[in-house]
Structure 1
Amino acid sequence: MIQRVQSIWLFLAAAILVLMLFLPIVTKENQTTELSIHTVGLYQDVVNKPGPGVLKETFTPLLITNIAVAFMCFVNIFNFKRRVLQKRIALISILLIIGFAFWCSVFAQKLPGGIEGAHFDFGAYLPALSILFCVLAILGINKDERLIRSAERLR
């Protein structure tokens, strides 16, 4: 059934990954400018000037990976009839999210002057949260499998 708890966990994992598109991962400030790394690219913002930052460099492969992993988690919701496949895709999603998080840290090194003096924003912790949601989805799938096996035993 699509209303099972693992569907909620997979939807939350996908939503968290989509949220990473809008939140900065790493921010570094100096006296006049603020540089921030998003999955879209490197943004530069003038400290005393209101308004949005300027996109200095785009990270297209990172953006495509972020969207693909989020889409994979979302599409996995509709595999509710094939629990084994749903569990395998959730495990693959976890591995891809780990690789994506590592790749984000590699792109964070591209800040001018390195990562020294930079602070990690909320976007840096979102991959760990999406991994947690995928693990909770796998636990829900396992619970469904045990329930179905026990119901078949009673027949």
Structure 2
Amino acid sequence: MIQRIQSIWLLLASLTILLLLFVPIVNSQSAGSEYWILATGLYKKTNGVAGKIEYFKPLFMNTVAVAMLCFATIFTFKKTIGQKRLIIFAMVSTLFLGFWIFDAAQNMPGGIASVNLGVGAFLPLISLIFCALALRGIRKDEQLLRSADRLR
């Protein structure tokens, strides 16, 4: 039986991380051009023409890997100890991803002082919250099973 609420929290965590591929993380304006960062790379818009300046292949691959880890954790419901360990690993990976995004934002043209945070800057934090809620749900299920075993 697939767990109830934990599956939903882990699916939401996975989708939140995948949104980093489509939602601007940070943006800035410098010398008449607009720059923004997605998990796929650094983009520039000048005179209405947008294009990718730099491709962040390792960041892209790490983002997809963390999202897949959160999604795959849903299907390890038979071993709750292993599932809890995978969730903690996903949380650490998400923190690592957040620091990596911050490092990429520091290298934007115009410097970190001229950067405006986008919605994507808060997505790793939201994903961490969803993973923590999934962990809490697993613990509640374990307590429910222990209480049912005592009644037998």
| TM-score of the aligned structures, taking structure 1 as reference length | 0.94
Matching residue's letter, 2:119: F
Q: Which residue of 1 aligns with 2:7?
A: 7
For 1:62 and 1:69, how far apart are their aligned partners in 2? 11
Determine if contact 2:43/2:52 at 8 Å carries over to the other structure: yes
Shift of 1:32: 2.1
Matching residue's letter, 1:35: Y
Matching residue's letter, 1:76: T
Match of 1:81 among 78, 81, 86: 78
For 1:95 and 1:3, how far apart are their aligned partners in 2? 23
Secondary structure class of the residue paired with 2:22: coil
Shift of 1:33: 1.0
For 1:100 and 1:16, how far apart are their aligned partners in 2? 13
Shift of 1:136: 0.1
| 1:121 matches 2:118 | yes
Shift of 1:92: 0.6
Matching residue's letter, 1:41: G
Shift of 1:5: 0.3
Runs of 4+ in 1 over 3 A off after TM superposition: none
For 1:44 and 1:115, how far apart are their aligned partners in 2? 16
Stretches of structure 1 that go unaligned for 5 or more consecutive residues are none
In terms of mean alpha carbon deviation, does 103-112 or 129-138 score higher? 103-112
Shift of 1:154: 1.1
Shift of 1:113: 2.5
| TM-score of the aligned structures, taking structure 2 as reference length | 0.96
Backbone CA RMSD of aligned residues = 1.1
Determine if contact 2:24/2:120 at 8 Å carries over to the other structure: yes
Shift of 1:28: 0.4
Shift of 1:31: 5.4
